[in-house]
Structure 1
Amino acid sequence: MAQAEDIILIGGSAGSYGVIVNMLESIPAKISSAIIVIIHRNAKYPTQMEKSLTLKLKRPILSAEDKVTIEGNNIYFASPGYHLLVEPDHTFSLDISDPVNFSRPSIDVLFESAAEVYTTRCTALLLSGANNDGAYGIKRVEFFGGTSIIQDPNDALINTMPNSAITTSSKANVLKNKEIINYFCSIK
């Protein structure tokens, strides 16, 4: 597949996994966008998230790797223990600098770097979580002309992250879970 011209970022923490699975299940079989998912995971506790989702969704779910080109029709997950950044040449970069908002990987770090590279071709979605990670990243996506979507706090299992992003956002679309799923059904 060719290098992705459009990028869709999904950030979540506690309470977001079920919604993420529902979103990924609703994506059409072929899309030109790349999807990058970042969930707060502790590197001390290995998971089989990518492997189990590959089996469930019957499509490859990839771990984002250093210096790999971001390609369309791929779904990437940020690796636990590393910040994930998007480089100007549309590749990934992994970083082990200090946690941001008590998290590594940090949603803010990914959203900010992707916004600067993809500008108006970047969509960022922030879901349930128990800290403020992602709020500043949403603001940066908007600053660079991208689209921001925040899960309705009333639909989030833990509404701290969505509420924080709503207070920093200037123009985010606040959507209920069903509206988010409908959005993912229409991705091209």
Structure 2
Amino acid sequence: MSAQPSPLAVVVGCSAGGLAALHLLLGGLSRPLPVPVVLVCHSGSEDMRLFCELLAGRSGLPVREAEERQLPQPGQVYVAPSGYHLLVEHDGRFALSVDPRVAFSRPSIDVLFESAAEAWRERLLAVLLTGANADGAHGCRRIRALGGRVIVEDPRTAQVPIMPAAALELAGADHCLPLADIPPLLETLCP
């Protein structure tokens, strides 16, 4: 069995309880990751600028809204804009869509995860955190089917366990662990 190649990107999804979870996830990193981090959080906010500022302030990492045709850069954190699905094209650039909601959400974690799986295949690492619906489960299944790896927050320690539990039931995971243990694992998997 050959070693898994280093990731080219990390995608993150969360919903209810997500801002607090992202503070712990990003704030728990001892260094910026050498790959872009792309995330969807069902924040309910119409303006994601404050959300980005809060994450940046807590983590010390550069956090910004993703833009159409933008090529994500290592060490940066990109957040899906409110009201748009965030996709990754085959050339690695972002695309924004106002297609119908998926799992009652736009942006949808499944849309990001599934498009990123097609773009980065075995070089993709996904993290699914706390949340109150099943968004992300199908995306996790697609990532694993194409050779990528999935980390799911342990539902027993998630603020809202529905989302990680749904992903585990449908897709399983390469790693399932408490939130506090995910940042050091990301640093190990993204050398």
Give TM-score, length-normalised by structure 1: 0.90
Q: 1:51 aligns with which of 50, 53, 58?
A: 53
Aligned pairs for 1:1-188 (under 5 A) are 6-44=8-46, 48-186=50-188, 187-188=190-191
| Gap runs ≥5 in structure 1 | none
Q: Give how far 1:46 is off.
A: 5.7
Change (3 A) 1:135 1:80: same
1:172 is matched by which residue type in structure 2? D
1:178 is matched by which residue type in structure 2? A
Does the CA contact (< 8 Å) of 2:25 and 2:179 recur in 1?
no
**How large is the RMSD of aligned CA atoms in angstroms?**
1.9
Does the CA contact (< 8 Å) of 2:80 and 2:86 recur in 1?
yes
Change (3 A) 1:182 1:31: closer
C-alpha deviations, 1:7-64, integer Å up to 9, x for none?
1011000012222111111224343211011101335466601122223333321110
Q: Percent identity?
A: 33
Change (3 A) 1:45 1:90: closer
Tell me the SS of whatever aligns to 1:49: helix
Q: Distance in 2 between matches of 1:46 and 1:120?
A: 30
Q: Distance in 2 between matches of 1:85 and 1:34?
A: 14
Q: Give how far 1:170 is off.
A: 4.2
C-alpha deviations, 1:116-159, integer Å up to 9, x for none?
11001101111111111000000000011000111111011111
